[in-house]
Amino acid sequence: MTTLDFFSAGAAPDDPAFRARELHRLLHHHAHRYYVLDAPEIPDAEYDRLFRELQALEAAHPELLTPDSPTQRVGGKVLDSLTPVRHAVPMLSIETETDTTAQGAQDFDARVRKALGLQDGDAPVEYAAELKFDGLAMSLRYELGALVQAATRGDGETGEDVTQNVRTIGQIPLRLKGCEAAVLEVRGEVYMRRDDFEALNEKQRAKGEKTFINPRNTAAGAIRQLDPALVAQRRLSFFAYGLGEVQGWPVPATHARLLDALQAMGLPVCAERAVAEGAAGLVAFHSAIGERRDALPFDIDGVVYKVNALALQQQLGFKTREPRWAVAHKYPAQEMLTTVQAIEVQVGRTGKLTPVAKLAPVFVGGVTVTNATLHNEDEARRKDVRVGDTVIVRRAGDVIPEVVAVLPEKRQTGAEVFTMPHACPVCGSVAVREEGEADYRCTGGLFCSAQRKQAMLHFASRRAVDIEGLGDKLVDQLVDSGVVKTLPDLYRLGLTALAALDRMADKSAQNILDALEKSRQTTLPRFLYGLGIRHVGEATAKALARHFGKLDAIMDAGEDQLLQVPDVGPIVAQSIHTFFQQAHNREVVEQLRACGLRWEEGEPSPAAQSPLAGKTFVLTGTLPTLSRDEARELLEAAGAKVAGSVSKKTDYVVAGEEAGSKLDKALELGVAVLDEAGLRALLPGG
Ligand code: IVH
């Protein structure tokens, strides 16, 4: 049965078929807002409610269940194998222009002009320029507007049926908006965003499992899974870029208009596209996208140029398997082979030891890479990277380069397995790996010069107090020569000491002094962030400053007061409290103040000023005038917490009529007990 059968005329508003139709419309609309436009109009919980309503309706009236129902995205069966699908229109490939310079675009334009018989004086050819997504090609077949089949490219003639897997991709509409064409095959690319890929690998690392190599392989592997429930966990995405078979739909006259039309039907079409005039337009597009490549949320391996007018495309035709009207113009590869020359262990600001592969220099993702992270001991072991190995290095986006795999067949005999040192390679202190942690940490603290250097670099960084020009080379020199031992020492530097350093001209010494002077006037959030307290990032530093107003209030806050700060949980609260409990940390803060570091302080927020801030209450029994919820709201507004059960940590129990075991427990533990009047007396204005 198709959708249209049960949507046929005659359904009344209280009819289940009518409601099902309404729910289809709503769920399709909101899925599009959420997955494609990234602009939801309703909360997730409301979407879930509508979804469950439709599920219930379909369970009660199985005749209402159609393949394009929003409930059919998940729940397909586990298959034994994938079924072959013969493509009505073959899925072609595109010629690749590997010359990554402007010449690549110029050569293509010249070939097109020649094939069209154009002379030098004739007008430039108009092209549709778009991205070359690095995923896998997919053909989506819509009949009368409903998705009926999804197939991989395969050899171009025959692919595999992956319909139930593709249904799990939220971005792919199960029903097209405003298109009832008998057949519309939409071609495009299934891919995985870099953040979704990184998150997946983070999860794998946390579970101690094998990480995936790159987003493309991960997406391709997922699409060919036999169990759609596994695919649903992968968070795949899709971009449409062309057509296959079409029946009963007027195809627009240009490729750019075609993409507009697909977008209007609710299909995801990448916004990074342009209509380009002649070779100059193509060159400009190639270089503009090249500049922004790292900032895109997904991998691309090039751009694609297509002659815009479909009539001209027809005139140009094909050479065997590739159209003459399109070309892929590449960028430098994001994965390259190189060899590991050494494995070093670096010490971070918090003492974390990171194994880093030192590589034979290799040009990857547009830059020369000589270092690649191996993350931690387990990961280095799992990948089994050894000195001398030939490895695949990946550098994509702003993620640090990493070794993604070893080519074992290229290993020299005698290569030794890497082991993490159990002592800090810089200061020699014991390195420990806490239970349940993936990382070894140097226990040397500020005794460790590596940690001191990193702490200084962090304090000086742009988002902290911003000491311009204080980079790692200078910090190395300052710390290694013993001129600077602690953070405040930086502010005690004089021109003579600085100018005495190797390769330091008077002028640059003065620049550093000026930068130090400028950094003395800062803000409380920058200063706090710069201290490098574990778990205190910029957002937490801002929240702390807003809540407490003054640094001294933060330094003296107990864990319960810290817990009052929005988004500060027990681990963060403990970390901040422990940091300021340590005499040497307070000393550093005092010395920095004495060195002239200053910032504006504000008033604490109302919640922080309240005498109830951070106190824990338990409510029990019926109060004379306040409902449970009202009492809770009043307490929370005053900065207190309301807990469900009484313990030694409870500050007050508020008891009303028929208070039961919680009151007994309070009396047993000696917790203060209040009635409603007592509670009101504690509240502001009470
Ligand atoms: S058009 C007749 N456009 O590149 C032209 N392909 O070698 C058919 N690809 O298998 C393809 N981005 O998976 C086209 N914007 C884009 C593309 C694109 C990526 C892939 C596609 C195809 C391969 C062609």
Summarised one tens digit per residue, pLDDT across range 589-603 is 999 999 999 999 988
Is 479's pLDDT higher than 60?
Answer: yes
Residue 12 pLDDT class (50, 70, 90 cuts)? low
Task: Kindly state the average pLDDT of the residues 216-237.
Answer: 90
Contact present, 574 and 559 (Cβ < 8 Å): yes
Does the beta carbon of 162 sit less than 6 angstroms from any atom of ligand 1? Answer: no
**Which is more confidently placed, 607 or 191?**
191
Cα 94 to averaged position of ligand 1 atoms, centre (Å): 6
pLDDT of residue 595: 95
What is the average pLDDT across 478-483?
A: 92
> Where are the alpha helices (H) located in 521-650, listed in sequence order?
524-530, 538-548, 551-556, 559-562, 570-581, 583-594, 606-609, 628-637
Instruction: Please compute the mean of the pLDDT values over residues 275-303 and round it to a whole number.
Output: 95
Tens digits of residue pLDDT in 387-419 = 999 999 999 887 789 998 898 888 988 889 999
CA–centroid distance, 263 to ligand 1, in Å, is 18
Element (H, E) at 146: strand 146-152
Q: Give the whole-angstrom CA distance, residue 268 versus residue 171.
A: 7
d(CA 42, CA 471): 47
- 16-33: b (≥16 Cβ within 10 Å) or e: ebebbbebbebbbebbbe
Ligand 1 within 6 A of 154 CB?
no
- List Cα–Cα distances, 18 to 2, 13, 21, in angstroms: 16, 6, 5
More confident residue, 70 or 517: 517
Residue whose entry in the numeric block shows the structure tokens 């029946």: 247
- Measured by CA distance, the residue closest to atom 17 of ligand 1 is 132
Pairing of strands 431-433, 390-394: unpaired
pLDDT at 75 (0 to 100) = 59
What CA–CA distance (Å, rounded) separates 206 from 144?
46
Label the pairing between strands 237-247 and 183-191.
antiparallel
Cα separation of 26 and 396, whole Å? 38
Residue 560, amino acid: D
Q: Based on C-alpha coordinates, what's the Rg of the chain? A: 32
20-24 long-range CB contacts below 8 Å, 24 or more apart?
20/54, 20/57, 20/58, 20/61, 20/64, 23/50, 23/53, 23/54, 23/57, 23/70, 24/54, 24/68, 24/69, 24/70, 24/175
> pTM to 2 decimals?
0.70
Count H helices and E strands in the chain, helices first: 27, 24
**Residue 228: is its pLDDT beyond 50?**
yes
Residue range 204-225: mean pLDDT, rounded: 88
Kindly give the number of the ligand 1 atom that is closest to the alpha carbon of 130. Answer: 15
Instruction: Judge if the beta carbon of residue 189 lies within 6 A of ligand 1.
Output: yes
**H helix or E strand, kind and range, residue 143:** strand 136-143
Measured by CA distance, the residue closest to atom 2 of ligand 1 is 92
**Using one digit for the tens of pLDDT, what is the confidence trace for 66-112?**
888 888 876 567 778 889 999 999 998 899 887 888 999 999 999 99
Mean pLDDT of all residues in 451-466: 95
Helix (H) or strand (E) segment spanning residue 363: strand 353-364
Q: Nearest 5 degrees, angle CA 631-CA 635-CA 640?
A: 145
> Helix (H, G, I), strand (E, B), or coil: what is residue 642?
strand
> Does the beta carbon of 17 sit less than 6 angstroms from any atom of ligand 1?
no
Burial of 600 by CB count in 10 Å (0-12 exposed, 13-18 middle, 19+ buried)?
exposed
Distance between CA atoms of residues 423 and 432, nearest Å: 8
- Using the atom order of ligand 1, give the atom closest to the CA of residue 189: 13
Across 91-100, 190-199, 297-306, least confident range: 91-100
The closest of 369, 375, 72, 370 to 211, measured between CA atoms, is: 375
Q: Is the confidence at residue 638, as pLDDT, over 60? A: yes
Ligand 1 centre to CA of 190 (Å) is 11
In order of 44, 178, 224, 369, the CA distances from 71 in angstroms are: 15, 21, 21, 47
The 8-class DSSP code of residue 294 comes to G
pLDDT category, 584, cuts 50, 70, 90? confident
Question: Which residues are catalytic, by number?
Answer: 132
Report, as an integer, the average pLDDT of 110-138: 96
pLDDT band at 251 (very low <50, low <70, confident <90, very high): very high
Does the beta carbon of 130 sit less than 6 angstroms from any atom of ligand 1?
yes
Amino acid at 189: E
Pocket test for ligand 1, best of 300, 304, 330 (most atoms within 8 A of CB): 304
Q: How far is the CA of 137 from the centre of ligand 1 (A)?
A: 7
Angle at 422 between CA 419 and CA 428, to 5 degrees: 125
Given ligand 1 and candidates 241, 243, 316, 325, which is best to mutate, with the most ligand atoms within 8 Å of its CB? 241
For residues 547-571, average pLDDT: 91
User: Ligand 1 atom closest to Cα of 153?
Assistant: 10
Report pLDDT for 438: 85
* pLDDT for residue 9: 45
Ligand 1 within 6 A of 240 CB? no
Mean pLDDT for all residues in the chain: 90
> What digits encode the pLDDT tens for the residues 325-343?
999 999 988 988 899 999 9
The pLDDT value given to residue 365: 87
Query: What is the separation of C-alpha 167 from the centre of its chain, rounded to a whole number of angstroms?
Result: 23
Asked if the model's pLDDT at residue 2 lies above 50, the reply is: no
Could you tell me the distance, in angstroms and rounded to a whole number, from the CA of residue 123 to the centre of ligand 1? 27
Secondary-structure breakdown of the chain: helix, strand, coil percentages, each rounded to the nearest 5: 40, 20, 40
Residue 511: pLDDT band (50, 70, 90) is very high
- Is the distance from CB of 151 to CB of 138 less than 8 angstroms? yes
Residue 499 in tokens: 């100018």
The Cα 163–Cα 168 span in angstroms is 9
Ligand 1 centroid distance, CA of 187 (Å): 9
Instruction: Tell me the CA–centroid distance for residue 229 and ligand 1, in Å.
Output: 28
Cβ-contact 162, 223 below 8 angstroms: yes
> Does any ligand 1 atom lie closer than 6 A to the CB of residue 592?
no
Judge whether residue 510 has pLDDT over 90. yes
Give the number of the atom of ligand 1 that is nearest the alpha carbon of residue 94. 7
Task: Name residue 442's beta-bridge partners.
Answer: 431
Residue 34 pLDDT grade (very low, low, confident, very high; cuts 50, 70, 90): confident
Yes or no: say if 215 and 198 are a contact pair by the CB < 8 Å rule: no
Answer for the pair 365, 332: CB distance below 8 angstroms, yes or no: yes
Dist. CA 360–CA 358, nearest whole Å:
7
**Which one of 111-115, 531-535, 625-629 scores highest in mean pLDDT?**
111-115
Q: Please give the share of the chain, as a percent, with pLDDT higher than 90.
A: 64
Residue 74's pLDDT is: 67
Ligand 1, atom 24, residue with closest C-alpha: 93
**Mean pLDDT, range 473-486, rounded to an integer:** 92
- The residue nearest atom 13 of ligand 1, judged by CA position, is 137
In short, whether 323's Cβ falls inside 6 Å of ligand 1 is yes
Statement: residue 10 has pLDDT above 70: no
Average pLDDT on 668-679 reads: 91
Q: Which atom of ligand 1 is nearest to the CA of 134?
A: 19
Task: Compute, in angstroms, the gap from residue 188 CA to the centroid of ligand 1.
Answer: 7
Cα–Cα distance for residue pair 504/496, rounded to 1 Å: 11
Give the pLDDT of residue 1: 39
Q: Please check the confidence at residue 4 and state whether its pLDDT lies above 50.
A: no
- 153 CB less than 6 Å from ligand 1? yes
Dist CA 13 CA 214 (whole Å): 50
Q: What is the pLDDT of residue 182?
A: 97
- Computed from CA positions of residues 66, 69, 75, 80, in that sequence, does the dihedral angle turn out positive or negative? positive
Contact 174, 70 (CB under 8 A): yes
What residue type is assigned to position 613 of the chain?
A: A
